[in-house]
Structure 1
Amino acid sequence: MNQPAAEAFFLQAGAGAGGQRYCLYQPAVGACRGALVYVPPFAEEMNKSRRMAALLALALARRGIATLRIDLHGCGDSGGDFADARWDGWRDDVGHASAWLEARSGHRPALLGLRLGALLALDYAATADPADAPRQLILWQPVLDGATFLTQFLRLRTAGAMMSVSATGASDNSTSALRARLAAGEALEVAGYELAPALAAAIDTLKLATLGRAGCALHWFDIGQPGRAPSPATDKALATLRERGVEVDVTRLDGPAFWGSQEIATCESLLEATAALAPRFALEDADAL
Structure 2
Amino acid sequence: MPCFQAFFLEGPQGKGQRFCIFHPAQGVTRGRVLHIHPFAEEMNKSRQMSALQARKLAQAGFAVLQIDLFGCGDSSGDFGDASWQDWLDDVALGAAWLSQQGSEPLWLWGHRLGCLLACEAAPSLNEACHFLFWQAPSTGRVLLQQFLRLKVASGMLEGGPNTISTDALKAELLAGGSVEIAGYRLSSALAAGMEKATLSPPALASAQAWAPVACWFEVSSQALPEPSPAISAAIQRWEAAGIAVRYQSIPGPQFWQTAEIELAPALLESSCSALRDAAPSSPASVARLDLEHQP
| TM more than 0.5 | yes
The alignment-based identity, stated in percent, is: 41
Q: Does 1:11 align with 2:6?
A: no
Kindly provide the CA deviation profile for residues 15-35 of structure 1, in whole angstroms up to 9, marking residues without a partner as x: 33x210000011122343321
Structure 2: distance between partners of 1:251 and 1:267: 14
**Counterpart among 143, 146, 151 of residue 152 in structure 1:** 146
Partner SS, residue 15 of structure 1: helix
Partner SS, residue 76 of structure 1: coil
Could you say which residue in structure 2 is the equivalent of 1:22?
19
Could you say which residue in structure 2 is the equivalent of 1:64?
61
**Counterpart among 57, 71, 74 of residue 71 in structure 2:** 74
Name the amino acid aligned to 1:218.
Answer: A
Q: Does 1:120 align with 2:117?
A: yes
1:113 CA displacement: 0.2
Contact 2:7 2:20 in 1 (8 A): yes
Structure 2: distance between partners of 1:156 and 1:30: 45
Contact 1:65 1:282 in 2 (8 A): no
Could you say which residue in structure 2 is the equivalent of 1:267?
264
The count of residues paired between Structure 1 and Structure 2 equals 277
Partner SS, residue 147 of structure 1: helix
Q: Does 1:223 align with 2:219?
A: yes
**Counterpart among 72, 95, 99 of residue 98 in structure 1:** 95
Kindly provide the CA deviation profile for residues 120-157 of structure 1, in whole angstroms up to 9, marking residues without a partner as x: 111111x324x4232x1111110111112211110000
Contact 2:12 2:89 in 1 (8 A): no
Structure 1: distance between partners of 2:186 and 2:83: 10
Cα distance change of structure 1 residues 14 and 231 upon mapping to structure 2, 3 Å threshold: closer
Kindly provide the CA deviation profile for residues 168-198 of structure 1, in whole angstroms up to 9, marking residues without a partner as x: x33x411011111111111001111100111
Residue range with higher mean Cα deviation, 109-118 or 232-241: 232-241
Could you say which residue in structure 1 is the equivalent of 2:172?
181
Structure 2: distance between partners of 1:102 and 1:11: 14
Contact 1:66 1:105 in 2 (8 A): no
Partner SS, residue 30 of structure 1: coil
The TM-score, its normalising length taken from structure 2, stands at 0.87
Could you say which residue in structure 2 is the equivalent of 1:132?
127
Contact 1:225 1:254 in 2 (8 A): yes
Could you say which residue in structure 1 is the equivalent of 2:189?
198
The answer for unaligned runs of 5 or more in structure 2 is 205-210, 287-295
Partner SS, residue 163 of structure 1: helix
Partner SS, residue 24 of structure 1: strand
Cα distance change of structure 1 residues 237 and 108 upon mapping to structure 2, 3 Å threshold: closer
RMSD: 2.0
Structure 1: distance between partners of 2:196 and 2:12: 27
Residue range with higher mean Cα deviation, 33-42 or 213-222: 213-222
Partner SS, residue 216 of structure 2: strand
1:90 CA displacement: 0.7
The TM-score, its normalising length taken from structure 1, stands at 0.89
Partner SS, residue 180 of structure 2: strand
